[in-house]
Amino acid sequence: MMSTYETLTGLVERFSPTHYEAEAVAWLVGRMLSLGFASARTDEAGNAVGTIGEGPNQIVLLGHIDTVPGKIPVRVENGILHGRGAVDAKGPLAAFVDAAAQTGLVPGWQIVVIGAVDEEGDSAGAWHAAARYHPRYAIIGEPSGWNRIALGYRGIVRFRFQARQTIGHSAAGRDSVCEMAVDFWNRLVEFCARENRAAERKFDQLTPVLQEMHSAGDGFVEKGEMSGNVRLPQRIAPERIKDVLREAAAGIGTVETEGIPLNAFRVEKSTPVVGSLLSGIRSLGGDPSFSLKLGTSDLSIVGPAWNCPMAVYGPGDSTFDHTPGECISLEEYGKAAAVLVGVLKRLTAAVR
């Protein structure tokens, strides 16, 4: 594999699904030290944290080091790196590390790179970072494409529905627990459809997602379960959806929310961070554009906490997220890293 991409390939080679990130974190800490970071360590949450410089001004580059399950053989073919996490989101994280190392020490500034754990879970790493850092500027690492800037992500409420009853004969004329679960789901879908009538953009819509459904019985009691989530637009708070879930389950079964609900979050366009990204993309001949993402990310956690100019940026095509064909163009990775070097230099030059 090409030494130019050692940070990227080294990270991707170390399979790190959520809750099993320790090996990749340890490797990244060592990699950052070898690249000249003033310090690098594993923090209390298990994040990999590297810093360059000291001073009153701080830039935080927050990526995540965990991936979804499903190991993919790591290989490079025709300039394309294949492997789990190549896009989501080790590509953006590695680009942060390489760009910070190339930028180096800037008087009056501290550049912090964080490889957060648990982003695909409950985001324990981001919650820890949100309380620990107070940056002047921040960039969140997710695959936007080297010439595109993401400005927002939707929120989420995760749920688990359960219906149970004593077993009866199938000819008794009552609904099975599976039918109860379907009834609950249909009520939820109907509510979302009504709410979406006036929302043209997907980013502004409610999206219910059914992830798992199963039933079982022991000869006396049958139980049906369903789990999923609802993606939220900015206009709808998680508490409203919790009420909707309870209403949908009324008279059928019980529903509980899981994990920490997140609000949708969108950054402003007219900030030094976005402006620097636009300039960096154009300097490499790119035609920059913006996107609003339909999923969720750590932006929704650190955005409200840090309340500073920020954006979401990183190499990779997000259509490959979580797929068996996850891969990233090494050329695109190189361009994104170069854009980030320019961004760091512009931001730090503007304030001394």
Cα 148–chain centre separation: 16
Give the C-alpha separation, 177 to 285, whole Å.
Answer: 58
Residue pair 110/58 in contact by the 8 Å Cβ criterion: yes
For the question of residue 175 being annotated catalytic, the response is no
Give the C-alpha separation, 339 to 104, whole Å.
Answer: 15
Residue pair 156/261 in contact by the 8 Å Cβ criterion: yes
Q: 4 by DSSP, 3-state: which?
A: helix
Q: Of residues 88, 98, 119, 298, which has the active-site annotation?
A: 119
The full DSSP string for 236-284 is S-HHHHHHHHHHHHTTT-EEEEEEEEE--EE--SSSHHHHHHHHHHHHT
Q: Which of 314, 292, 345 is nearest to 139 (CA)?
A: 314
Residue pair 298/133 in contact by the 8 Å Cβ criterion: no
For the question of residue 119 being annotated catalytic, the response is yes
Is the preceding peptide bond at 38 cis, omega within 30 degrees of 0?
A: no
What is the bridge-based pairing of β-strands 137-141 and 310-313? parallel
Q: What is the CA radius of gyration of the chain?
A: 22
Q: What are phi and psi of 205, to 5 degrees?
A: -110, 155
Give the C-alpha separation, 338 to 344, whole Å.
Answer: 10
Residue pair 51/38 in contact by the 8 Å Cβ criterion: yes
Q: Of residues 66, 88, 98, 298, which has the active-site annotation?
A: 66
Q: Which residues are catalytic?
A: 66, 119
